[in-house]
């Protein structure tokens, strides 16, 4: 069962050298308040695991931890949107571990689902072959990747109930997968509602996976934050 705490209390679960999964997709559906808390806490030498760097230009999403120099290793599929992060990777301040996006997602899923590896044909005939072990199944060559887990996963959902059941709206992207793959799972939500208000078929992540619920920005406040970001970059 999940416990409701403040973002200030939740951020204490992350310490220097923690590995931290951050849900979302290039800045969309990310836990905005918790990322601000991690940046303010100043914890360092973090291994950050997320599907891609933040919104174009940097400084958003994991980009906040980049400008603060809090990351020592970044596990992902894409860094092209964040020039600050690219600079730190080229300067060898941040170690980069890449895998193709679909493989990255399955590695996290495998980490949460108790599987021993991901076996995929994607990346054969490319440099990715050097990042994995080659195996043959029924005469066909595949690449074997290890699962990914983290000390803490910080994810974003729309609503939670006190049992930790989570409801998503829009694209849930990496959030329900990361919810399964860390020792401590912190879910930031727009709203916390009574038990029963989220109907069973609306539950995207059952509370069994969630340890802590924190209240993030309201939906309306998030809408303003995203519209401002999109208008400033000529996308709306």
Partner 1 sequence: MPKNYIARRIAKEFKDGMYVNLGIGIPTESANYIPEGTRVFLQTENGGLMFGPKPKRGESNPDIANAGAEPITMLPGGAVFDVATSFAMIRGGHIDMTVVGALEVDEAGNIASWKIPGKLLTGMGGAMDLLYGCKRVIVAMTHTDKHGNPKIRKKCTLPLTAAGVVDMIITDKAVFRVDKDGLYLEELAPGVTAAEIEQLTEGTILNIIEWEHIEIT
The contacts of residue 160 (CB under 8 Å, 6+ apart) are 2, 166, 167, 187, 189, 191, 192, 193, 198, 210, 213
Q: What is the 3-state secondary structure (H, E, C) of 78-135?
A: CCCCCHHHHHHHHCCCCEEEECCHHHHHHHHHHHHHCCCCEEECCCCCCHHHHHCEEE
Q: What is the 3-state secondary structure (H, E, C) of 21-65?
A: EECCECCECCCHHHHHHHHHHCCCCEEEECCCCCCCCCCCCCHHH
184 binds partner 1 (CB under 8 A): no
Question: Which CB atom, from 43 or from 99, has the smaller least distance to partner 1?
Answer: 99
158 binds partner 1 (CB under 8 A): yes
Least Å distance between CB 110 and partner 1?
10
Residue span binding partner 1 (CB under 8 A) among the ranges 39-47, 88-96, 132-140, 195-203: 88-96
154 binds partner 1 (CB under 8 A): no
User: Is 180 in contact with 187 (CB distance < 8 Å)?
Assistant: no
Rule CB under 8 A: choose which of 73, 78, 146, 215 binds partner 1: 78
Range 7-66, binding partner 1 (CB under 8 A): 25-29, 51-52, 55-56
User: Cα separations (Å) of 100 from 18, 103, 146, 205?
Assistant: 24, 5, 13, 25
188 binds partner 1 (CB under 8 A): no
Least Å distance between CB 230 and partner 1?
5
Question: Which CB atom, from 116 or from 170, has the smaller least distance to partner 1?
Answer: 170
β-pairing verdict for 140-145 and 118-120:
antiparallel
Least Å distance between CB 81 and partner 1?
8
Question: Which CB atom, from 14 or from 157, has the smaller least distance to partner 1?
Answer: 157
Interface residues with partner 1 (CB under 8 A) are 25-29, 51-52, 55-56, 76-81, 86, 89-90, 96, 98, 100-103, 105-106, 109, 120-128, 158, 168-177, 219, 222-223, 225-227, 230-231, 235-236
């Amino acid at each position: 069962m999940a416990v409701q705490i403040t973002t200030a209390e939740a951020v204490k679960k992350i310490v220097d050298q923690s590995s931290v999964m951050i849900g979302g997709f290039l800045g969309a559906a990310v836990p905005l308040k918790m990322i601000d808390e991690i940046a303010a806490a100043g914890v360092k030498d973090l291994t950050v695991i997320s599907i891609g760097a933040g919104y174009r230009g940097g400084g958003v999403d994991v980009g906040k931890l980049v400008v603060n120099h809090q990351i020592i290793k970044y596990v992902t599929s894409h860094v092209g949107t964040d020039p600050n992060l690219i600079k730190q990777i080229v300067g060898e301040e941040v170690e980069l571990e890449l895998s193709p996006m679909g493989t990255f997602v399955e590695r996290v899923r495998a980490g949460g689902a108790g599987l021993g590896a991901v076996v995929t044909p994607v990346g054969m005939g490319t440099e990715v072959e050097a990042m994995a072990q080659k195996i043959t199944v029924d005469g066909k060559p595949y690449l074997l990747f290890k699962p990914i887990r983290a000390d803490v996963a910080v994810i974003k959902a729309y609503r939670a109930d006190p049992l930790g059941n989570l409801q998503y709206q829009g694209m849930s992207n990496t959030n329900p997968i990361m919810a399964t793959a860390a020792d401590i799972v912190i879910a930031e939500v727009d709203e916390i509602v009574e038990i029963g208000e989220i109907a069973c078929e609306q539950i995207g992540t059952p509370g069994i996976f969630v340890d802590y619920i924190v209240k993030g920005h309201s939906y309306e406040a998030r809408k303003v934050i995203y519209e401002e970001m999109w208008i400033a970059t000529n996308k709306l």
